[in-house]
Structure 1
């Protein structure tokens, strides 16, 4: 899909919104979102896994079916939710997060606020509302609506608690040829902006688990995850895999805007990793 506005600008400006205005979502915006969800390729991940996303309208957090959706007080006055449905395995979660984040950015372009939610909602209540088959589960949701700019004290408090504005520096996440050498912006060539978009991306509890290694010839960028031990274990799935799909989406959308051609490939480069928590995910190959 092609954005009318700069995707890079959208990624730079986006913040999680938890407090929404009383204004209903415009019918034209609802139609655009529904049209988006009808296009099969919009729900297909780069590694070949396809997820599902449903739009659920709410009034006072109650659906049209009369089901009360639970978000534990984290969301104020949402007008609808986008509910993701996927499979609980490694690459399905990564692909799903890629497609879900691309939709999040599209919704942001329309002027609507969003907030990735992987753990702070009642899955049982959402499962009663949506269409699911054997093996399906809900990795995440996002409320949507127009931001209430005058009453975002709660939003700012949450951002402060999770240190959402404190992003790791390049030397903590990005590497040159091997994990022993930090990558600098000056040495990253044409991939400086796509890599910076990964740095700015949202992640669960702002853990920023992505680790990137740029090859010596600058034609390959290897994506690794550094797992936070026991993070999200009580939820029954590895929430941080969603962060890797988000990182891939941010990276690729920036590349496309900058006319940098490439493709994703899962091919282990067999690098020595710094610790047992670091796991290879995927590589971006320059065409």
Structure 2
């Protein structure tokens, strides 16, 4: 299956089957997270990801891992750790989303979790370096096809399937002109993959501006005021890393060559909550 099809297919899974992760898949996951190249972001920041196997949400160490009742029958958790700064969070989420897509291709369900889990319990499982914390985790397991009613109900509550339209997210040259799919040219699919990507509470904080020559795509974040402030970090920065991963993955599949750069075009911003993050430059 193509990566674009995987991105279209992927949904958050909260109800898992009781089947253990197979030895074959377990080995593939281990090999992936043990390959240091898979854990490096576009600008060289390295994340940390550890795999914790569980039985009835209890780890091999006997630690009860808390997810506040949202997750049923997880067979393990992938736990991320990084430093709490803007670009380390963005790059870590880029790395973590690549892992999520890899798992989706294996037929393994995932669910990004940034706030609805007990950090203290997971911190007992992961060796944190100085200045590191756990920004997110994902439970993993094979989706339970017969018990998805809970998942569907929760998707309805959080409006997970109600994605914003292009005119609310994407712009041509300035923030004053909306971008249509036709005007996006070769970037139509990469930009659509950004729109379809997961985000915290489905806020979709990404805003993209495509240059007049269609060679540069600038990524901005429109912060939701006070969102995740109680957690001590900006969770929406993770959404920007996810957006970068979705965009780049589609570009690579479509043979659109480019690279990430931090070169602020200093456009007039639509409001005080909008901030420049990164740009994709085509070769």
- TM-score, normalisation: structure 2: 0.99
Map 1:19-98 to 2 at 5 A: 19-98=15-94
Cα drift, residue 152 of structure 1:
1.2
SS at match of 1:186: helix
Task: Confirm whether residue 103 of structure 1 aligns to residue 99 of structure 2.
Answer: yes
Cα drift, residue 133 of structure 1:
1.7
Cα drift, residue 58 of structure 1:
0.1
Cα separation, 2, equivalents of 1:130 and 1:65: 11
Cα drift, residue 157 of structure 1:
1.0
SS at match of 2:91: helix
Task: Confirm whether residue 6 of structure 1 aligns to residue 35 of structure 2.
Answer: no
User: Match of 1:140?
Assistant: 136
Cα separation, 2, equivalents of 1:36 and 1:13: 21
User: Match of 2:281?
Assistant: 285
User: Match of 2:201?
Assistant: 205
Cα drift, residue 48 of structure 1:
1.5
Map 1:113-262 to 2 at 5 A: 113-262=109-258
Cα separation, 2, equivalents of 1:83 and 1:51: 11
SS at match of 1:199: helix
List, as ranges, runs of 4+ consecutive aligned residues in structure 1 with deviation greater than 4 Å.
none
Cα separation, 1, equivalents of 2:187 and 2:222: 21
User: Match of 1:268?
Assistant: 264
Cα separation, 2, equivalents of 1:285 and 1:16: 31
Cα separation, 1, equivalents of 2:106 and 2:163: 26
Cα separation, 2, equivalents of 1:273 and 1:47: 25
Cα separation, 2, equivalents of 1:213 and 1:133: 37
Instruction: Specify every segment of 5 or more residues in structure 1 that has no aligned partner in the other structure, as ranges.
Output: none
Instruction: Specify every segment of 5 or more residues in structure 2 that has no aligned partner in the other structure, as ranges.
Output: none
Cα drift, residue 130 of structure 1:
1.1
